[in-house]
Structure 1
Amino acid sequence: MALIQTSLIWVTYAVAIALLLAIATIFVFIYQAPRDRAISVTVVSIFTIGALLATVLLVPVDVALVSSTTRSKDGRKKDWATPDQVESILFTLKIVYYTLYSLDAVLCLLVVPFTYFWYEEYDPIAEEDGTQTVGSRLWGAFKYTTAFIAIVLTLFLVGFFIPFGKGMRNGKHMDLDYFKKLLSENHGERALTFSLGLLVVVGTFLYVIYTASGLALLPVAMIKSAPAISVPRLAEDTSSQLEQNRERQRQLEGRAEGRDHMDSRDRRELEALVREERTLVRRQRLAAEAGGEGRTWLIRAWHKIEAVFRPLKLIGGFLLMIIALIIWTSMLITGIDKARNSVCKHNCGYILGHINIFQPINWIFVVSSRVFPIDYVIFLLLTAFFFSASVVGIATVGIRFLWVTIFRIRKGHTSPQALLLATVLLTLIVLAMNYSIAMMVAPQYTTWGSQKYCDLPAKHPGEQPDCSQNRAAIKYCTELAENPVAKDVCTPSVVSTFINRITVNFPFFGVVAFWAQFAFLGVYLTVFITTLFRTPRLDIDQLDADLEEEEEEGLLATTGRRFNATWQDITGRSKKRQATYGTTDNDGHRNGGQSSD
C-alpha cells in the first residue's frame, strides 16, 4: 500500500513536469522573435524555466509524502511508516531538492550567462570569412563567464566558513527538537544554504517589483483586453485608407507638375499625408503580424485560441481578481500573525510556531490535502498564476536598470538577449516565490500538510496513544508541540526545514525576506488601484522610437468588447469582405456576395 501511494505521488509529479515543459516551450516560442531565433538560446531558456517550475511543484509532493505517513482519523503513524521508512522518504526528497536547487543556481549563474555571451560572440561576417571558429567563440564566451564563476566560488566559500546565527543557538526555544534540527552542522550543506539564501533575498526584490505588479495587472488586463476592432477589419480599413492617401498624394503631385513650386497649402497637405502614410504602413504591418502573416504556425494558432476564448476572458479576469485579493488577504494575515506571535522574532526570521488567526488559503490547502491529488492540482494552478503574473510584470515593467529600459519583453518581438535575461529574472523570482508560498501563503500546509497527532500521554514508553474514543484530543502538528508523541508522529516537510534552516542559520536573510512581503502587498495594492482607472499598456514609460507603433497596437487592445471582432478574428474574414466578395469553397470559387460588376 505504501509503495502504491508513494508511486502515485511521484507519477503525478512526473506528469506535471511533462506538462510544465510543454508550457515552457510554448512560452519561449510565443515570446521570442522568429527572425532572431537561436537554438542554444531556445534550449537553455526552455530547460531553465522547466527546472525552476519543477522546483516549485516539488512542494506539494513533499507535503503529500510526509502527510501519507499518518492517519488523520486517530492521529497515529501508519503501520508501514517506520522510522527507517520515513527517513528513506525524507532522504530521497532531500536529494531531489538539493539537485534542483543546485541546478537552478548553476543555470542562473553560469549556463545562462555563458549562453548570453555565446550568442553575443556570433559574427556572421567573420564566420563567412573563416576568421571566427567554434573554438574562438567558446573562448570568448568563457572569458566573460569567468566573472560569474568567481561569484559562485565566492558564495560557496563564504557560506562554507561563515559562522552560525548565534541568536537562536542560545535561545529559549532551542530545547525543542524542531529547532535543534534546523542548525546546520555540515559545512557543504551550510554553503548551499547560504548561497541559496542570498539568491532568495536578491530574487525577493525582483519578486516585489515584478510579481506584485503582475498579480494586480493580469486580472485587470484580461478584463480590459477585448478588442474593439478585429484584425481582418483593421487590415481592410487600413488598406482602404492607405489607397485613398496615396491617391490624394498623386493628385497633389500632378497638380504641381509644370509649376516652378508647389502651392504652400498643397505642400502642407502633402506633408501631412506623408506622415499619415507612415502611420498607416505601421498599422498595416501590425495587422499583418497580428493576423499571422509571416509568422510560425504556433503564433497563428495562439492568436486563434486567444480569439476563441476571448469571451471567457471577462469571467476569468473577475475570477482571478477575486483569487488575487484572497491571496493578498491571506498573506497579510500571516504577516501580522508572524510579526506578533513569532516564537523568536528576528532571531530566526520570524518562524511561526502555529497559526493563531484563521487564514483562508492555508485552510483550503489543509482540507484538500486529505485527498491527493486535489491539493496538488490547486497548488499547480496557484503556481501557474504566480508565474504568469511574473511574466506579465516583466513584460509591463521591462528589463530595466533603475529608470533606463534595457530590453522589452513582447510576444513575437523578444530578442535572444532579452529572453535570457528574462529567464534569469524568472529563476530568481521563483526562488523568492518558493519562500513566499511556503512561509506566507500556506505556512501550515507547507510545513505539516494534514498531519495530526494524539495529544494524550502514552500508556507505555514507545507506544502511541489511542484517540479513537477522544477525537477532541486529535490536534494538527505544529512546531511548538511539546508532547513527546508529536515528535514521533509529526514529520516536517523538507522544503519548510530547508527554508527555516536558512532563516535560523542566517537570520538577516529571514528578516529581509519577511519584511519584503509587506512591500509586496503594498506594491500590489498600489498597482491594483491604479489599473482600475487606467487601461494597462505594454510599457507605460516607453519613450523610444517605437512609441508610435505601441500606440498603434493599442487599437487591438482597447476597453471596448465586441462579439463581431472576436468572430472575425476566429474566421479570419470580416463581414464587409464577406458581403463584398462572398465566401469561397475549397476550389477557390465564390459562393454568394455581390458580383464583381
Structure 2
Amino acid sequence: MALIQTSLIWVAYIAAVVLLLAIAGIFVFTYQTPRDRAASVTTVCIITTTALLATVLLLPVDVALVSSTSLSSQGRKKAWATPDRVDSIVYTLRVVYYTLYSLDAVLCLLVIPFTYFWYEEYDEDAAEHGEQTFGQRFWGALKYTVSFIFFVIIIFLVGFFVPFAKQAKRDDRLDLDYFRHLLQENHGERALSFALGLLSVVGTLIYILYTGAGLALLPVALIKSAPSISGPALAANTASQLEQNRERQRQLEGRNLGRQGGLDSRDRRELEALIREERTLIRRERLAAESTGERHFLVKAWNKIEAVFRPLKLLGGLILVIVALIIFASMLITGIDKAKNSICKSGCGYILGHINIFQPINWILVTSSKVFPIDYILFLLLVMFFFSASIVGIATVGIRFLWVTLFKIRKGRTSPQALLMATVMLTLIVLAINYSVAMVVAPQYATFGPQTFCDLEPRHPGEQPDCREHRSAIKPCTELAENPVAKEVCTPSVLSTFINRITINFPFFGIILFWAQFAFLGVYLIVFVTTLVKTPKLDQEQIDRDLEEDEEEGLLASTGRRLGATWQDITGRVRKTSEYGATNTEGERS
C-alpha cells in the first residue's frame, strides 16, 4: 500500500513536469521573434524554464511523501514508516532537490551565457562561404564563458571555506533538536547552501521589482485591456489605408505631370508625408500578416484559445484580484508574525517556530493536503500565478540597467538575446519565489503539511500513544515541539530544512530574504493602486515610432473595446464598414 501511494505521488509529479514542458514551449514560442528563431536558444530556454518550474513544484511532492508516513487523524506514524523507510524517502527527495538545484545553477550561470555568446558568434555571411567552422564558433563562445566558470568556482569555494553559524551555535534559544539538525552539515552542503543563498538574494531583488509589479498588473490588465481590432480586421484596414495612400500619391504625381519645376512646395510636403506613411503602413501590414498566419503553430493555437476565452477575461481578472489580495494579506500576516514571534529574530533569519496568527493561504493548503492531489493542483495554480506575474512584470518594465532599457520583451518580437536574458531573470526569480512561498505564503504547509502528533504519554514504554479517544490531544507538528512523540512522528519537508539551513547558517541571507518580502508587498501595493487610478494608454504615434525603429516591434491594439474582434480572431472573417458607419460581414451590404 505504501509503495502504491508513493508511486502515485511521483506519477502526479511526472505528469506535472510534462505539463510544465508544454507551458514552457508556449511561453518561448509566444514571445520569441520568428525572424531570428534559433534552435539552440529555443531548446535552452524551454529546458531551463521547465527545470526551474519543476524545482518549485517539487514542494507538494515533498510534503505529500513525508506526510504519507503518518496518520494525521491519530497523530502517530504508520506501521510501515520505520526510521529506515522514512530516511530512505528523505534521502530520495534530497537527491532530487540537489539535482534540480544544481541543474538550475548550471543552466543559469553556464549554459545560458554560452548559448548567448554562441548565438552572437554566428556570422551568416562567413558560414555561407565556409569561412566559419563549428570549432571557431565553439571556441569563440567558450572564451567569453570562461569568466562565468570562474565566477561559479569562486562562489562554491567561498561557500566551502567561509566561517558560518558561530553565533547560532552559541545561541541557547536554538538548543532544540530541529535547529541542532540544521547546524550539522558537511562542506559540500554548505557550499551549495551558500551558492543558492547568494543566487536567491540576487533573485529576490529582481523578484521585488518585476513580480511585485506583475502581481498587480496581471489581474488589472485582464479587466481593463481588450483589443480594439482583431488581427484579420487590422490586416484589412491596413490594406485599405495603404491603397488610399498610394492612390493619393498617384493623384499628386498626375496633377503635376508635365509642370515645369515639378511639384510645388505644398504638394511636395504632402507627398513626402504620404511616402513616410506608406512605409509605416507596409511595416504594419507585414506585422498583421504575421499575426494572422505566419507564426509558429503553437503561437497560432494559443491566439485562437485566447480569442475563444476573451469574454472570460473580466471574470478571470476579478478572481485574480481577489486571489492577489488574499496572497498579500497572507504574506503580511506571516511577516508580522515572524517579526514579532521569531524565537531568534535576525540571528537565524527570522525562523518562526509555529504560526501564531490565522493565515488563509496556509490554512487552505494544509486542509487540502489531507487529500492528495488537491493541494498539488492548488499549489500549481499558485506558482503559475507568480510565474505569469513575473513574465508580465518583465514584459512591462523591460530588461533595464538603471534607467536604460537594454531589451524589450514583447509577444512575437523578442530577440534571442532578450529571451535568454529573460530566462536567466526568471530562474533567479523562481529561487526567490521558492523562499517566499515556502517561508512566507504557506510556512506550516511547506514545513510539516498536515502532520500531527499525539500529545499524550504512551501507555507502555516503546509504544506510540493512542489519541483516538482524546481528539483534543492531537496537535499540529511544529519546529518547537519537544515532546518525544513529536520527535518521532513529525518529519519536516526537505525543502523547508534546506531553506532554514541557509538562513540559520548564513543569517545575513535570511535577513535580506525576510525584509525583502515587505518591499515586495510595498511595490505590489503602489502599482496596484496606481493601475486602478490610471490605465496606460496605447499611443498610435508611439506604435509608428516603434515600427520605424524595428520592423518586428509594434502594438496591434488600442484602448477601445470591440466584442466583434473576438469572433473575427476565431473565424478569420472581417467585417466591412459602409460609408454610413454600419458594419456587415463579407458578402453583405448595409
TMscore range, shorter length: over 0.9
Counterpart CA distance in 2 for 1:19 and 1:459 is 49
Query: Which digits, 9 at most, give the CA deviation of each residue in 1:203-255, with x for residues without a partner?
Result: 11011111111111111111122212222223222222222222222222222
Matched, 1:509 2:532: no
Counterpart CA distance in 2 for 1:24 and 1:582 is 38
Alignment partner of 2:182: what SS?
coil
How far the C-alpha of 1:531 sits from its partner, in A, is 1.4
Task: Map 1:292-311; keep pairs closer than 5 Å.
Answer: 292=293, 294-311=294-311
Counterpart CA distance in 2 for 1:152 and 1:535 is 43
How far the C-alpha of 1:299 sits from its partner, in A, is 2.4
Alignment partner of 2:405: what SS?
strand
Which stretch shows the higher mean deviation, 436-445 or 27-36?
A: 27-36
In the superposition, relative to structure 1, how do residues 138 and 62 fare at CA in structure 2: closer, same or farther (>3 Å)? same
Query: Which digits, 9 at most, give the CA deviation of each residue in 1:263-291, with x for residues without a partner?
Result: 33333333333343334333323322322
Alignment partner of 2:453: what SS?
strand
Write the letter of the residue equivalent to 1:274.
Answer: I
In the superposition, relative to structure 1, how do residues 176 and 317 fare at CA in structure 2: closer, same or farther (>3 Å)? same
- For structure 1, which runs of at least 5 residues remain unmatched after alignment? 584-591
Is the contact between residue 217 and residue 536 of structure 1 (CA under 8 Å) also seen in structure 2? no
Counterpart CA distance in 2 for 1:147 and 1:347 is 34
Is the contact between residue 184 and residue 190 of structure 1 (CA under 8 Å) also seen in structure 2? no
Counterpart CA distance in 2 for 1:282 and 1:549 is 11
Counterpart CA distance in 1 for 2:556 and 2:48 is 35
Is the contact between residue 396 and residue 537 of structure 1 (CA under 8 Å) also seen in structure 2? no
Alignment partner of 1:36: what SS?
coil
How far the C-alpha of 1:156 sits from its partner, in A, is 0.9
Query: Which digits, 9 at most, give the CA deviation of each residue in 1:160-208, with x for residues without a partner?
Result: 1111222211112222100000014311111111111111111110111
Alignment partner of 2:371: what SS?
coil
Matched, 1:284 2:293: no
In the superposition, relative to structure 1, how do residues 4 and 161 fare at CA in structure 2: closer, same or farther (>3 Å)? same
Counterpart CA distance in 2 for 1:523 and 1:272 is 44
Aligned counterpart, 2:189: 189
Aligned counterpart, 2:215: 215
Write the letter of the residue equivalent to 2:565.
Answer: A
Write the letter of the residue equivalent to 2:138.
Answer: L
Aligned counterpart, 1:432: 432
Aligned counterpart, 2:576: 576
Aligned counterpart, 1:588: none
Q: After TM superposition, what 4+ stretches of structure 1 lie above 4 angstroms from structure 2? A: 536-540, 542-545, 547-555, 577-583, 592-595
Aligned counterpart, 2:334: 334
Query: Which digits, 9 at most, give the CA deviation of each residue in 1:304-334, with x for residues without a partner?
Result: 2211111111111111111111101100111
Is the contact between residue 77 and residue 489 of structure 1 (CA under 8 Å) also seen in structure 2? yes
In the superposition, relative to structure 1, how do residues 514 and 582 fare at CA in structure 2: closer, same or farther (>3 Å)? closer
Query: Which digits, 9 at most, give the CA deviation of each residue in 1:466-512, with x for residues without a partner?
Result: 11111111111111112111101100000000000000000000000
Write the letter of the residue equivalent to 1:399.
Answer: I
Write the letter of the residue equivalent to 1:147.
Answer: S
Counterpart CA distance in 2 for 1:384 and 1:510 is 25
In the superposition, relative to structure 1, how do residues 537 and 159 fare at CA in structure 2: closer, same or farther (>3 Å)? farther
In the superposition, relative to structure 1, how do residues 576 and 261 fare at CA in structure 2: closer, same or farther (>3 Å)? closer
Is the contact between residue 543 and residue 555 of structure 2 (CA under 8 Å) also seen in structure 1? no
Write the letter of the residue equivalent to 1:272.
Answer: A
Aligned counterpart, 1:274: 275
Aligned counterpart, 2:313: 313
Alignment partner of 1:35: what SS?
coil
In the superposition, relative to structure 1, how do residues 274 and 369 fare at CA in structure 2: closer, same or farther (>3 Å)? same
Counterpart CA distance in 2 for 1:285 and 1:128 is 27
Matched, 1:412 2:412: yes
Aligned counterpart, 1:527: 527
Is the contact between residue 48 and residue 107 of structure 1 (CA under 8 Å) also seen in structure 2? yes
Query: Which digits, 9 at most, give the CA deviation of each residue in 1:141-165, with x for residues without a partner?
Result: 1111111111111111111111122
**Amino-acid identity (%):** 73
In the superposition, relative to structure 1, how do residues 76 and 133 fare at CA in structure 2: closer, same or farther (>3 Å)? same
Question: CA RMSD for the aligned pairs?
Answer: 2.4
In the superposition, relative to structure 1, how do residues 413 and 428 fare at CA in structure 2: closer, same or farther (>3 Å)? same
Is the contact between residue 370 and residue 450 of structure 1 (CA under 8 Å) also seen in structure 2? yes
How far the C-alpha of 1:577 sits from its partner, in A, is 8.3
Matched, 1:262 2:250: no
Alignment partner of 2:366: what SS?
helix
Is the contact between residue 337 and residue 357 of structure 2 (CA under 8 Å) also seen in structure 1? yes
Counterpart CA distance in 2 for 1:539 and 1:152 is 44
Counterpart CA distance in 1 for 2:329 and 2:305 is 33
Counterpart CA distance in 2 for 1:263 and 1:10 is 78
Query: Which digits, 9 at most, give the CA deviation of each residue in 1:319-360, with x for residues without a partner?
Result: 111111110110011101100000100000000011111100
Task: Map 1:93-132; keep pairs closer than 5 Å.
Answer: 93-132=93-132
Counterpart CA distance in 1 for 2:173 and 2:352 is 12
Matched, 1:447 2:413: no
Is the contact between residue 26 and residue 299 of structure 2 (CA under 8 Å) also seen in structure 1? no
Task: Map 1:19-30; keep pairs closer than 5 Å.
Answer: 19-30=19-30
Task: Map 1:467-478; keep pairs closer than 5 Å.
Answer: 467-478=467-478
In the superposition, relative to structure 1, how do residues 539 and 8 fare at CA in structure 2: closer, same or farther (>3 Å)? farther
Query: Which digits, 9 at most, give the CA deviation of each residue in 1:408-456, with x for residues without a partner?
Result: 1111111111111111111111111100000010000000000011112
Is the contact between residue 396 and residue 538 of structure 1 (CA under 8 Å) also seen in structure 2? no
Is the contact between residue 29 and residue 296 of structure 2 (CA under 8 Å) also seen in structure 1? no
Which stretch shows the higher mean deviation, 505-514 or 118-127?
A: 118-127
Is the contact between residue 283 and residue 549 of structure 1 (CA under 8 Å) also seen in structure 2? no
Counterpart CA distance in 1 for 2:18 and 2:437 is 22
In the superposition, relative to structure 1, how do residues 75 and 537 fare at CA in structure 2: closer, same or farther (>3 Å)? farther
